[in-house]
Each structure stands twice: as C-alpha cells, then as structure tokens.
Amino acid sequence: MNKMTLIGLGFVVCFFTGCSAKPMNTNINKGMELLEQMDYSGAMESFEAALVYKEDEQLIYRGEGLANMGLGNYEEAANCLLQSISYADGNVTNLEFDTNYYLATAYYKQGKYEEAEKIYTAILALRNKETDAYYLRACTLLKEGYYEAAVKDFEKAFSLEPDNLELVTDAFLEMQAAGFSEEGKVYLQEFLTKKDKQLKDAQKGTIYFYLEDYANARTYLDGALNQGNPEVSLILGRTYEKLGDMNYAMVVYQTYLDSNAPDAAIYNSLGVCLMNQKKYQEALDAFQAGIDLGNTANIQSLKYNQIVAKEFLGHFAEAKSLMQEYLAAYPDDAKAKQEYEFLQTR
C-alpha cells in the first residue's frame, strides 16, 4: 500500500485499467500512458486532443486533473477533477472513488485541509472499511491540529490491517513531522512487541531504525542485507549514516548497485553521502546516473540534488538553468525557490 496519494500519482494505472474505458478513447489512453511515464505536459496535450475528438469527458477531465497535479497546478487540478465527477450522473463506482481521492489530495496540497477532510469523511460514509481514507484523513487532521481525532483514525486504520508494518511506519513519519515523534514511537514499539515472532530481520531492523535504536537496526538489517532488497540497503545505509560511518554507508549503497539492477533511490542516497564528504563530482555522477534511469519516484530529489552538487562545483550558470527547469516542473517547492534566489546573485 502506498500512502503517498498525498504526493504522487502511484494509483493512476492500477485504477484506470480497472475502468470501463471505451475502445475509441485513443487520445485518453495515450494520455494515461504519458502520465505513467510522468510526461505531464504531453499527457495534457493528449487530453486536449481527446476533447476535440469528443472522447469520454469524465475520463478526459480526470486525466487533466492528474496531469495538473503532476505539474503542481493543484487549484486547476481540483477544478478538472470536480468537472470529471460532474459527469458521473450520480453513479458511484471505483472510478468516482478514485477521482475523489485525488480531489482530496489536490485540496491537501493547496492547504485546504477542511475540504480534504470532508471528502475522506464522505468516502467513509459509503465505504467504512477504507484503510486509505482513515489514514489520509488522519494525516489531514494532523495538519488541522486535531491530534486526538487523527490518532483515532490512525488506530482505526491499524485495526483494519493489523499486519501492515508500512502503515505503522508511515503513520509514525506523519506524527513525527507534526511534532509527535514520541507518541508515534509507541505504535512502532507495540507492533514490534505484538508481532515479534512473525517479523523478519529486515522488518525488525526497520522498526529499530525509526525507534532510533541504531545498534539493533544495524544488527538486524546486516542480517537481511544479501536479499537484493533496495529498501533494506537504503535503511541500512541510513543507519550507518546515523552512526556516523559515512564510509560504510557508501559501501552499502555501492555494493547494492554493483550486484543488482540500477535503483534511483540508491543512487540518490549514495550521492548525498558523497556530497557530505565533499566529493562533489562523484556525487554529481551518482545523481546523473539516477536521473538517467528516467522518470521515477525519486526524480525530483535527484534533480534538486544535482543542482546543489553543481553549485558546490562552482557551475553556477548550469545550476541556474537547471533550477529554472526544475521550478517549471515543481513550482510549489519553497526550498528550491530560495535556492534560486541565491543563484540569482552568483
């Protein structure tokens, strides 16, 4: 389960392929393929062509909503998604539920937390066992400052999927970001205690990492390292970073890359480690290798770090040009905007 509905477009393909798309929706289908490739501008062109050829309007506006979300145009995304829902004629199918999830995300990204909360509440009124809706409403409630209500929703989500470690770690990260780290650790510890005999070494190591028990995290993650799992390598590398051993963290990342298929997240972490050691050209090479893998979930972070590495190397003109492109793709990145202001002075 990927709770990053709040951020990304990870559900687009799996939901869309379950819809009853009409065979003649050629431009819509092309647009959905481009969304999968994260080519949001190209997808928008396809959906505009679909309007010209009078293809399915509900799917067109849904597609435009998703493309606008990818482009960071959240207000316009919400407008398109609302228009898509208006073509449902009162029918409530998986497509409408999915579109409403994205609409809530568009509101959330605009800081319209109350509107997002209302959508999740409406979803739960019809489907009272939707783990995602409870989880995402909890995240929204945290943003509104309603801690107790958020915890109630998190706990309901946990009860629906009691064996889902990712759900618990995601909730912990949300609570940590809201300033409730210690409270979030209670759920991690409870999960560890209840499921101890069922958990694999990698799962135990992950829990210990978030509990900031890095010695135990290293022990269990080291034992699970030779499984070719990038997530294990990532968390083990981060564990060594927390323990102050940057050299071995880099060994973990590089060992994975030498023995397995290329992984963008691993390249990104390796690059960050190299930058911390002031090996900026090597870091730049790592970021570029990750970028060369194409549009992945890590592409934004890779491109931002690439710019920072170029700054450290003194390549300010290149960094400025790349930052302009970056902000065009990710206009809501406040940190990048500050960095661009700095580049304007160089």
pLDDT, position 317: 93
Write the single-letter amino acid at 217.
A
Residue indicated by tokens 């080519």 = 39
Q: How far is CA 334 from CA 24, 87, 234, 340, in A?
A: 42, 35, 26, 10
Instruction: Please give the Cα distance from 291 to 341 (Å, whole number).
Output: 24
The full set of domain ranges for the chain reads 1-110
pLDDT, position 91: 76
Write the single-letter amino acid at 48.
E
Beta carbons of 64 and 80 less than 8 angstroms apart: yes
Q: What are phi and psi of 332, to 5 degrees?
A: -95, 10
Q: Which of 89, 94, 149 is nearest to 117 (CA)?
A: 149
pLDDT, position 10: 41
Q: Which long-range contacts (CB under 8 A, 24 or more apart) does 231-239 make?
A: 231/202, 231/206, 232/202, 232/205, 233/266, 234/265, 234/266, 234/269, 235/205, 235/206, 235/209, 236/205, 237/269, 237/273, 238/209, 238/269, 239/205, 239/209, 239/214
Beta carbons of 219 and 233 less than 8 angstroms apart: no
Instruction: Please give the Cα distance from 254 to 2 (Å, whole number).
Output: 27
- The helix-helix angle for 201-210 and 214-223 (nearest 10°) equals 160
Q: How far is CA 321 from CA 296, 308, 314, 340, in A?
A: 22, 12, 13, 10
Per-residue pLDDT of the chain (346 residues; tens, 9 = 90+): 444 344 344 434 334 434 444 458 999 999 999 999 888 999 999 999 999 999 999 999 999 999 999 888 999 999 999 999 999 887 789 999 999 999 999 999 999 999 999 999 999 999 999 999 999 999 999 999 999 999 999 999 999 999 999 999 999 999 999 999 999 999 999 999 999 999 999 999 999 999 999 999 999 999 888 777 899 999 999 999 999 999 999 999 999 999 899 999 999 999 999 999 999 999 999 999 999 998 678 999 999 999 999 999 999 999 999 999 999 888 878 898 888 888 888 7
In CATH, the number for domain 1-110 is 1.25.40.10
pLDDT, position 4: 39
Instruction: Please give the Cα distance from 202 to 200 (Å, whole number).
Output: 5
DSSP structure class, residue 6: G
pTM score, whole prediction: 0.86
Instruction: Please give the Cα distance from 141 to 169 (Å, whole number).
Output: 18
Q: Which of 20, 72, 10 is nearest to 41 (CA)?
A: 72
Q: What are phi and psi of 173, to 5 degrees?
A: -65, -40
Instruction: Please give the Cα distance from 88 to 216 (Å, whole number).
Output: 52
